[in-house]
């Protein structure tokens, strides 16, 4: 892994005093320099426990977070807020078709109780897995919390996944219940969801009981006899209450599959106490969510980011969560800013690749709206280059809003690496240090820490509350001093402990004799004026050269001049070995539902290989054009 040209010194930007003054965590907060134990104690204090845990971790080597604590996640997101904020808005929902709905905490509490009673009527018991195959509509959140209330595990499957994908997830989780809908709107047209759901249901070996939300049509006309209507089921339980089931902190809360951007999706199970404490704490300390805020995490609920920061963190903290079902450019490219303005969004969290798309569409869109309500901007999902970081801060954040670049994974449950916006200086392009209470190192192939400035793999070197059940089990079986979790992310750590991510190990591009993280090459390309997005992949069939896919600022095709400027700038920044076999201009990069660039697909197109599973792709319509222009290069 030697020889990589790593990013140089970064400019630092301090958080404005006006932000620090009001921040949930500011420099005077004792947690900032506290021992890990004290930080995770503080995290647990954000929750309401039936039995408060004695300490974060037991004295022996077992890794069981808040082991002797008991609680219910739905009661933490709903019941405990009723006394002081029953009439505050819990969910503001904007549908893809322009519909809007508001749920107060009282409304949400009522519907979750009814749904919990309905699930019980169907036979759902504590520990059963309920699969949800729904777009971003309030019923999805209701079903998740209803499951949590009765101690059932939800298994949310992205609404755009194929019948095969759904069947695999029903099968592997042995899930006997499926909550879906008749259909939904995507980019202005109605999608029939029920037929896909039924196809999946028929192809698994066990019985799956279907519950159907009428999303397109209240009467859901084409329901068969076997389908149970969500609305009818709830009607039969009007105003019923269901006691929240007491759960041990270590009991599972839900299952979720990793995104499968690079490989086979794998199943991850999160715990009730550790997970909820971790996401509530990071929502509070990193995203600075306050009970009176409208927090908008613009993502799909089906992604771990949606679970943690659209549902559990904002609701546990008693804030308003804005849910948006539609596409960011429908009907127009200013849709996001229209929503920020209309709902006076305080904290805005989104995929870094989405921000690059906003930059591509141009600053006139955000600038035509009043975005002064925004207090904090957060990004997640892929490395962010300094140019996009600055664009976001200037054109969306009004020039002085703190920006947090948050690193984490499905397996980690919540954020682990980020600046604390009220405490730390920001370095555009670098995610930041490990959060208080989190220990990390950048290590080499042998597991030895590398020197600052050298690249390696990011490892998390001690347990954290949001860790998945299997990571906790693995850590429990190991000697505490020996255990560490190696992520597949390549990174560089600087003298201040700030981490810059280079991209995933499987996406590494070797040019000449130098292995580059894709982020290093892409960031250099995006630096060039007129470029908005880029993805670099290795093309084995083209003599192992690297192919750069580039989107220009307004989606127009690039010319020879731009090609020359890119080549020139990249070799100037990264040295003469950083050369591309070809620079291919395309209107859009292929991205998954969680906003990740599907580099694996671009590599397959470049090599003429089979594409493998692409049902996680959000914009499959772009593939044909990418094939054509690649062939012509
Ligand atoms: C939350 C989420 C995890 C992978 C992770 C890394 C990439 C996430 C990042 C980032 C650089 C950031 N990633 N945040 N890379 N900077 N701020 O995305 O979970 O879907 O499991 O993906 O995403 O490669 O390993 P998940």
Print the domain residue range for 544: 508-632
Q: In what order do the strands lie in the sheet with 440-443?
A: 440-443, 455-460, 485-493, 499-504
Give the Cα separation of 315 and 317 in Å (integer). Answer: 5
Helix, strand, coil % over all residues of the chain, rounded to 5: 35, 25, 45
- Contact 552 CB / ligand 1 (< 6 Å): no
Residue 575 is assigned to a structural domain of this protein: yes
Helices then strands (H, E): number in the chain? 21, 27
Q: Does 405 sit in the ligand 1 pocket, CB within 6 Å?
A: yes
Please work out whether the CB of residue 353 comes within 6 Å of at least one atom of ligand 1: no
pTM for the whole structure: 0.96
Instruction: For the chain of 633 residues, list the mean pLDDT of each consecutive stretch of 10.
Output: 48 94 94 93 98 95 96 98 98 94 98 98 98 98 98 97 94 97 90 95 97 83 85 97 98 90 81 98 98 98 97 98 96 97 98 96 97 98 96 97 98 98 97 98 95 96 97 91 93 96 92 87 94 93 87 82 94 90 93 91 92 84 91 84
* Residue in 262, 297, 286, 256 with CA at minimum distance from that of residue 406: 286
Pocket test for ligand 1, best of 258, 381, 517 (most atoms within 8 A of CB): 381
517 falls within a domain: yes
- Nearest by Cα to 487 from 469, 474, 505: 505
* Distance between Cα 543 and ligand 1 center (Å): 30
Q: Is residue 353 part of a domain?
A: no
Kindly state if the Cβ of 382 falls inside 6 Å of ligand 1. yes
Map tokens 């219910």 to a residue. Answer: 72
Task: Give the total number of structural domains in the chain.
Answer: 1
Give me the pLDDT at residue 2, please. 38
Q: How many Å lie between the centroid of ligand 1 and the Cα of residue 405?
A: 10
* Domain assignment present for 601: yes
Cα-to-centroid distance, 410 and ligand 1 (Å): 8
pLDDT for res 565: 95
- Write the CB contacts of 426 (distance below 8 Å, at least 6 apart in sequence): 12, 13, 14, 15, 402, 403, 404, 419, 432
Measured in Å, residue 313 CA sits from the centre of ligand 1 at 18
Q: Which pLDDT score, from 0 to 100, does residue 541 have?
A: 80
Using the mean position of ligand 1's atoms as its centre, give its distance from the Cα of residue 387 in Å: 19
Domain presence at residue 399: no
In short, whether 430's Cβ falls inside 6 Å of ligand 1 is no
Q: Does residue 572 lie in a domain region?
A: yes
612: CATH: 3.30.300.30
- Do the bridges between strand 403-406 and strand 376-380 make them parallel or antiparallel, or are there none, so unpaired? parallel
Distance 223 CA to ligand 1 centre (A): 39
- Number of the ligand 1 atom closest to the C-alpha atom of 418: 17
469 lines ligand 1 (CB under 6 A): no
């Amino acid at each position: 892994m030697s020889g990589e040209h790593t990013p140089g010194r970064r400019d630092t930007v301090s958080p404005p005093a006006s932000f620090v003054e009001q921040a949930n965590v500011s420099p005077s907060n004792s947690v900032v320099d506290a021992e890990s134990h004290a930080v995770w104690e503080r995290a647990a204090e954000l929750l309401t426990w039936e039995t408060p845990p004695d300490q974060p971790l037991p004295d022996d080597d077992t890794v069981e977070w808040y082991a002797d604590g008991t609680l219910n996640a739905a009661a933490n997101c709903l019941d405990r807020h009723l006394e002081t904020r029953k009439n505050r808005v819990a969910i503001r929902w904007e549908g893809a078709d322009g519909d809007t709905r508001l749920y107060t905490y009282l409304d949400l509490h009522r519907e979750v109780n009814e749904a919990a009673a309905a699930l019980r009527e169907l036979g759902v018991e504590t520990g059963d897995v309920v699969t949800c195959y729904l777009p971003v509509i309030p019923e999805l959140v209701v079903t998740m919390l209803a499951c949590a209330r009765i101690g059932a595990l939800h298994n949310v499957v992205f609404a755009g996944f194929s019948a095969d994908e759904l069947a695999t997830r029903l099968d592997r989780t042995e899930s006997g219940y499926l909550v879906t809908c008749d259909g939904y709107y995507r980019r202005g047209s109605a999608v029939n969801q029920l037929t896909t759901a039924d196809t999946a249901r028929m192809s698994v070996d066990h019985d799956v009981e279907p519950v159907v939300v009428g999303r397109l049509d209240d009467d859901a006309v084409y329901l068969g006899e076997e389908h149970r209507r969500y609305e009818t089921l709830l009607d039969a339980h009007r105003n019923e209450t269901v006691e929240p089931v007491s759960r041990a902190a270590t009991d599972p809360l839900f299952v979720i599959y990793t995104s499968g951007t690079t490989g086979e999706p794998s199943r991850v199970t999160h715990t009730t106490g550790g997970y909820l404490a971790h996401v509530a704490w990071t929502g509070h300390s990193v995203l600075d969510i306050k009970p009176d805020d409208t927090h908008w995490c613009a993502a799909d609920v089906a992604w771990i980011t949606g679970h943690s920061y659209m549902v559990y963190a904002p609701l546990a903290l008693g804030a308003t969560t804005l849910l948006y079902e539609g596409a960011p450019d429908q009907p127009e490219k200013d849709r996001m800013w229209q929503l920020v303005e209309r709902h006076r969004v305080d904290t805005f969290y989104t995929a870094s690749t989405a921000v690059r798309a906003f930059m591509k569409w141009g600053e006139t869109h955000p600038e035509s709206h009043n975005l002064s309500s925004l207090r904090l901007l957060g990004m997640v999902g892929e490395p962010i280059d300094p140019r996009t970081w600055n664009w976001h801060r200037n054109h969306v954040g009004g020039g002085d809003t703190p920006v947090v670049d948050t690193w984490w994974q499905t397996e980690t449950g919540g954020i682990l690496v980020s600046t604390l916006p009220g405490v730390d200086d920001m370095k555009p392009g670098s995610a930041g240090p490990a959060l208080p209470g989190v220990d990390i190192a950048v290590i080499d192939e042998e597991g030895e820490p590398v020197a600052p400035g050298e690249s390696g793999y990011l490892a998390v070197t001690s347990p954290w509350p949001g860790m998945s059940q299997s990571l906790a089990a693995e850590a429990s079986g190991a000697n505490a001093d020996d255990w560490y979790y190696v992520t597949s992310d390549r990174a560089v750590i600087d003298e201040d402990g700030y981490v810059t991510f280079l991209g995933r190990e499987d996406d590494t591009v070797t040019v000449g004799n130098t292995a580059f993280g894709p982020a290093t090459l892409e960031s250099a390309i995006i630096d060039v004026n007129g470029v908005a997005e880029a993805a670099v992949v290795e093309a084995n069939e083209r003599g192992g050269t690297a192919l750069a896919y580039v989107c220009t600022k307004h989606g127009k095709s690039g010319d020879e001049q731009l090609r020359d400027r890119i080549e020139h700038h990249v070799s100037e920044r990264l040295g003469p070995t950083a050369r591309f076999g070809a620079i291919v201009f395309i209107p859009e990069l292929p991205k998954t539902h969680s906003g990740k660039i599907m580099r694996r697909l671009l590599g397959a197109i470049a090599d003429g290989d089979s594409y493998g599973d692409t049902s996680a792709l959000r914009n499959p319509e772009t593939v044909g054009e990418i094939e054509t222009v690649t062939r012509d290069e």
